[in-house]
């Protein structure tokens, strides 16, 4: 019987009814369509997941289930944890590890590949959309480089939650279907338990997928790979005579806008190697990521990044550098004459910075609640960021609080009511008055542009500590919270407050 006083029960019933209405499929009925495997084993190696001990469900994401047409009732299937840990073969799956190389911290590594990831196959949903299903942490592959191919619970929780957090922030990303824990002991800096994340994406093909064949001078393998990317993600280009040039132009635009979105929400990727850059413009491979707390433009979220190559303020430049690597890798596709191919690539790359700057300025005008575009907007934004930096003020909290500013009464939010900001507020007030901005409407606009809830490191850390004691409630609480990051959620108000002092000591590295 439904308990009307139990909101969680009501929500689960609603979700169940919704998914039933759209006629989703059972686990043994998923519509596998192995188009990537059809390219041939030059692009991958078939693999078999390793058995893990006592697989169990940590969390399942209903909205991601719908992406592949999976019936929500299948969460109760007795084999669910076994299927998505790799212990039992999912009917129709053909696991493989993808081949690629990449520039890691600026240096070419001639062969990488999925060292701890396995694509079970591609599933076509009710809308004829194709999604990769990939297990991360299911054991070694030919590309593991003598590693165990496993992932620990700690890093898996971070990836599972962040991919969903980014999606609901409106940022293109891979998705997370479920998180499965196991009792295997895995050694990183210490002994930890293992886990497997099931990732979904319309493609896991990366810049490095093209680089590997370019540097091997296997140019004949480039067209089929590019054609698959175009056919699935840019289908209007497939019959164009210059389709590869048009695809390059598209991915330059998409990557520029993607990184502008990262900057706007204060997201730091941590490992922007070319093998971690998506050929369709997604955020992928969440390792030592982080969201800014106290604003520092030189913030380095990855403890392993000793030179600060992937610091927050370096991300736009690295995006441009990585795209240059991609453009070089596909030169044989752009023109049969090398000089003309280089000219095409260089002309396309010129569009990166205008695309980035246009999107960056648009996003930050929205964060300030501005309606019109003026030449002084850039300085207004940068001066505000400078004040945040000098005052060690929290990035997300400051922008959210700025929405409470009252133009008429010049009422400043308490958190931002500092003498150093007085002159800036005078300019801000004049700017708002000049476009006849109404406080109540501006507040609504700004709340839609400035999240209240982000996946801060200390929130992850609290969920991880509980999960390591077999208490997964906080993981699922965060999953629910981060589904609506821009909304006021009174029951979760504490999660939107400033981070505690101990959060400053949290450090993440490439093993995180």
pLDDT at residue 19 tops 50: no
Q: Looking at residue 507, what is its pLDDT?
A: 73
Reported as a single tens digit per residue, the pLDDT across 355-393 is: 999 999 999 999 999 999 999 999 999 999 999 999 999
Length of the chain: 512
Taking Cα atoms as reference points, which of 244, 438, 217, 482 lies closest to residue 341?
A: 244
Q: Looking at residue 10, what is its pLDDT?
A: 47
Q: Looking at residue 348, what is its pLDDT?
A: 98
174's tokens: 């891979």
- Rounded mean pLDDT, 466-474: 97
174 contact partners, CB below 8 Å, separation of at least 6: 163, 199, 200, 201, 204, 278, 282, 283, 284
pTM exceeding the 0.75 threshold for the entire prediction: yes
**Rounded to an integer, what distance in angstroms lies between the CA atom of residue 386 and that of residue 398?**
12
| Residue 306 burial (CB count, 10 A) | 9
23: pLDDT confidence band, cut at 50, 70 and 90?
Answer: low
Q: Looking at residue 9, what is its pLDDT?
A: 47
**Rounded to an integer, what distance in angstroms lies between the CA atom of residue 314 and that of residue 321?**
11
- Rounded mean pLDDT, 37-45: 98
**Rounded to an integer, what distance in angstroms lies between the CA atom of residue 97 and that of residue 115?**
8
Q: Looking at residue 509, what is its pLDDT?
A: 66
Residue 215 near residue 101 (C-beta atoms within 8 A): yes
* Percentage of the chain lying above the pLDDT 70 cut: 95
Boundaries of every domain in the chain: 30-203, 208-360, 368-449
Q: Looking at residue 146, what is its pLDDT?
A: 87
pLDDT at residue 1 tops 50: no
Q: Looking at residue 17, what is its pLDDT?
A: 40
Reported as a single tens digit per residue, the pLDDT across 251-283 is: 999 999 999 999 999 999 999 999 999 999 999
CA distances from 148 to 67, 140, 143, 156, 344 (A): 30, 5, 11, 15, 42
Q: Looking at residue 424, what is its pLDDT?
A: 96
**Rounded to an integer, what distance in angstroms lies between the CA atom of residue 177 and that of residue 185?**
24
303's tokens: 């403890």
510: pLDDT confidence band, cut at 50, 70 and 90?
Answer: low
- Rounded mean pLDDT, 416-424: 92
Burial class of 188 by CB neighbour count within 10 A (0 to 12, 13 to 18, 19+): middle
Q: Looking at residue 256, what is its pLDDT?
A: 98
Q: Which element (helix H / strand E) includes 196? A: strand 191-201
pLDDT at residue 342 tops 70: yes
Compute the mean pLDDT over every residue in the chain, rounded to the nearest whole number.
Answer: 93
- Rounded mean pLDDT, 404-417: 88
Q: Looking at residue 79, what is its pLDDT?
A: 95
402: pLDDT confidence band, cut at 50, 70 and 90?
Answer: very high
Reported as a single tens digit per residue, the pLDDT across 90-111 is: 999 999 999 999 999 999 998 8
- What is the SS3 string spanning 9-27? HHHHHHHHHHHHHCCCECH
DSSP character at residue 492 = G
DSSP character at residue 147 = S
* Helices 153-168 and 473-481, packing angle to 10 deg: 20
Q: Any catalytic annotation for residue 275? A: yes
Residue 151 near residue 139 (C-beta atoms within 8 A): no
110's tokens: 């001639």
Taking Cα atoms as reference points, which of 485, 449, 131 lies closest to residue 282?
A: 131
| Residue 336 burial (CB count, 10 A) | 8
The better pLDDT of the pair 505, 175 is held by 175
pLDDT at residue 25 tops 90: no
What DSSP line would sit under 30-85, residue for residue?
A: --B--TTGGG-TTSEEE--PPP-SS-EEEEE-HHHHHHTTB-GGGGG-TTHHHHTT
| Residue 501 burial (CB count, 10 A) | 8
R_g of the chain computed on alpha carbons: 23
Q: Looking at residue 18, what is its pLDDT?
A: 41
- Rounded mean pLDDT, 67-90: 93
| Annotated active-site residue in 114, 132, 184, 275 | 275
């Amino acid at each position: 019987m439904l308990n009307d006083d139990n909101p969680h029960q009501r929500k689960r019933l609603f979700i169940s009814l919704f998914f039933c209405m759209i006629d989703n499929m059972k686990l043994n009925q998923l519509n596998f369509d192995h188009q990537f495997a059809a390219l041939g084993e030059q692009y991958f190696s078939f693999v078999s997941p390793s058995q893990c001990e006592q697989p169990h469900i940590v969390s399942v994401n209903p909205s991601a289930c719908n992406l592949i047409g999976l019936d929500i009732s299948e969460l109760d299937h007795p084999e669910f944890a076994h299927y998505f840990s790799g212990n039992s073969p999912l009917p129709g799956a053909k696991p493989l590890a993808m081949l690629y190389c990449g520039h890691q911290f600026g240096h070419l590594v001639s062969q990488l590949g999925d060292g701890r990831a396995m694509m079970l196959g591609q599933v076509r949903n009710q809308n004829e959309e194709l999604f990769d299903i990939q297990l991360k942490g299911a054991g070694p592959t030919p590309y593991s480089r003598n590693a165990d191919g496993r992932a620990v619970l700690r890093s898996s929780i971070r990836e599972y939650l962040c991919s969903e957090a980014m999606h609901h922030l409106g940022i293109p990303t891979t998705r997370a279907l479920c998180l499965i824990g196991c009792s295997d002991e895995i050694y990183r800096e210490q002994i930890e338990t293992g886990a497997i994340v099931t990732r979904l994406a319309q493609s896991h093909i990366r810049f490095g997928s093209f680089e590997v064949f370019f540097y091997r001078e296997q140019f004949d393998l480039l067209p089929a790979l590019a054609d698959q990317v175009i056919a699935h993600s840019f289908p209007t280009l497939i019959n164009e005579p210059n389709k590869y040039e048009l695809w390059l132009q598209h991915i330059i635009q998409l990557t520029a806008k993607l990184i502008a979105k990262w900057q706007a929400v204060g997201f730091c990727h941590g490992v922007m190697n070319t093998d971690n850059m998506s050929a369709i413009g997604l955020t992928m491979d969440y390792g030592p990521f982080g969201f800014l707390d106290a604003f520092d433009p030189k913030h380095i979220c990855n403890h392993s990044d000793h030179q600060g190559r992937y610091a927050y303020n370096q991300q736009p430049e690295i995006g441009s550098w990585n795209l240059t690597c991609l453009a070089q890798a596909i030169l044989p596709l752009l023109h049969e004459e090398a000089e003309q191919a280089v000219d095409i690539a260089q002309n396309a790359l010129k569009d990166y910075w205008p695309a980035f700057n246009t999107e960056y300025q648009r996003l930050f005008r929205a964060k300030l609640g501005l309606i019109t575009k003026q030449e002084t907007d850039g300085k207004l934004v940068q001066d505000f960021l400078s004040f945040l930096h000098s005052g060690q003020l929290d990035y997300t909290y400051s922008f959210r609080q700025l929405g409470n500013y009252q133009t008429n009464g010049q009422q400043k939010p308490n958190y931002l009511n500092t003498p150093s900001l007085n002159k800036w507020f005078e300019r801000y007030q004049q700017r708002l008055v000049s476009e006849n901005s109404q406080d109540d409407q501006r507040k609504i606009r700004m709340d839609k542009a400035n999240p209240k809830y982000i996946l801060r490191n200390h929130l992850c850390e609290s969920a991880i500590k509980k999960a390591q004691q077999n208490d997964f409630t906080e993981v699922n609480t965060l999953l629910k919270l981060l589904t609506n990051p821009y909304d006021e959620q009174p029951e979760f108000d504490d999660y939107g407050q400033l981070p505690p002092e101990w959060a400053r000591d949290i450090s993440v590295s490439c093993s995180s």
